[in-house]
């Protein structure tokens, strides 16, 4: 039998078409509600996952406490990536599958100032306190974990009254952007949210005695129709190949 190149090409094209149709038919649309702390990681790993699986991801970013209220109010989702405490609370309410919680990484709190501005030494408590008292303006999150903790920390340091007129309450998102635009001198937030902002510079983490580490975890909705795909995506976030990216984006991997 003589080889017919045109027939071979046609058969190959048909196989590719059938395979692509099968992938499309089995592709899932995964809705992810996530805190901004892991935005940079998701922005890189998300497209990789989509290319390798054919699944589609949609992301919505808000502080963990806002996401908690959204879920309690009935918002549809497949995956929630928030603080471990919020995941545990939602699990108790039956709004997260009990055995689906997966710790992704943890982040401490840090300080950022405008690019080119002097960087204060905040490695020790006295220097950190002096830097706060010396700044003319500072922004913290309104409802995020970092902002709520920072407000209590000022009381603990005994400088809440002195700082009150300097503090601006920020929206959800990257607060260092306000620093980069020159609207405030200093930003306090999760390290992973400070690092990516151009026009600002990361000063450093809070002193060890004052540091608060927050663990960010993923969980799956009990009514998700895409649980297998959701599990696969979460697994990609905790794979050994993701560790260098997590570290580069200001997140410390969780030992397992």
Per-residue confidence (pLDDT) for residue 4, from 0 to 100: 53
| 65/203 Cα distance (integer angstroms) | 27
In the block, tokens 């709004």 appear at 95
Beta bridge partners of 57: 30
Whether residue 14 has pLDDT greater than 70: no
**pLDDT band with cut points at 50, 70 and 90 for residue 254:** confident
Higher pLDDT: 182 or 16? It is: 182
**pLDDT band with cut points at 50, 70 and 90 for residue 20:** very low
pLDDT tens string 114-170: 999 999 999 999 999 999 999 999 999 998 889 999 999 999 999 999 999 999 999
Whether residue 90 has pLDDT greater than 80: yes
Domain ranges of the chain: 5-106+215-253, 109-210
Whether residue 22 has pLDDT greater than 90: no
Sign of the CA dihedral running 236, 241, 247, 248: negative
Fold of 5-106+215-253: D-Maltodextrin-Binding Protein; domain 2 (3.40.190)
C-alpha separations of 221 from 50, 77, 79, 204, 213 in Å = 20, 6, 6, 36, 26
What predicted TM-score, i.e. pTM, was given to this entire model? Answer: 0.81
**pLDDT band with cut points at 50, 70 and 90 for residue 13:** very low
Per-residue confidence (pLDDT) for residue 23, from 0 to 100: 43
Instruction: Check for a shared fold between 5-106+215-253 and 109-210.
Output: yes
> Could you say which of 3.40.190.10, 3.40.109.10, 3.40.50.1580, 1.20.1740.10 is the CATH number of the domain covering 109-210?
3.40.190.10
Q: What average pLDDT score do residues 82-108 get? A: 96
With vertex at residue 189, the alpha carbon angle to CA 237 and CA 41, rounded to the nearest 5 degrees, is 20
Per-residue confidence (pLDDT) for residue 10, from 0 to 100: 47
Q: What average pLDDT score do residues 171-186 get? A: 94
pLDDT tens string 62-86: 989 999 999 999 999 999 999 999 9
């Amino acid at each position: 039998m003589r080889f017919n190149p045109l027939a071979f090409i046609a058969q190959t094209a048909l196989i590719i078409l059938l395979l692509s149709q099968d992938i499309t038919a089995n592709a899932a649309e995964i809705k992810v509600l996530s805190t901004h702390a892991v935005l940079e990681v998701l922005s890189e790993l998300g497209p990789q996952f989509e290319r390798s699986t054919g699944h589609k991801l949609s992301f919505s970013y808000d502080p963990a406490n806002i996401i908690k209220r959204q879920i309690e109010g009935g918002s549809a989702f497949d995956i929630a990536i928030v603080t471990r405490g919020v995941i545990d609370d939602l699990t108790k309410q039956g709004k997260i599958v009990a055995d689906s919680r997966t710790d992704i990484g943890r982040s401490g709190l840090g300080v950022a100032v405008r690019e080119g501005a002097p960087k204060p030494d905040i490695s020790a408590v006295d220097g950190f306190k002096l830097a706060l008292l010396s700044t003319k303006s500072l922004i913290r999150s309104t409802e995020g974990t970092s902002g709520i903790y920072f407000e209590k920390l000022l009381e603990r340091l005994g400088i809440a009254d002195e700082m009150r007129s300097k503090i601006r309450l920020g929206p959800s998102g990257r607060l260092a952007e306000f620093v980069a635009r020159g609207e405030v001198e200093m930003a306090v937030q999760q390290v992973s949210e400070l690092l990516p902002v151009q026009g600002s510079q990361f000063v450093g983490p809070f002193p060890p005695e004052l540091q608060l580490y927050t663990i960010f975890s993923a969980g799956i909705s009990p009514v998700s129709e895409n649980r297998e795909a959701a599990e696969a995506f979460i697994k990609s976030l905790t794979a050994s190949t993701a560790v260098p990216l997590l570290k580069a984006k200001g997140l410390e991997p969780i030992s397992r």
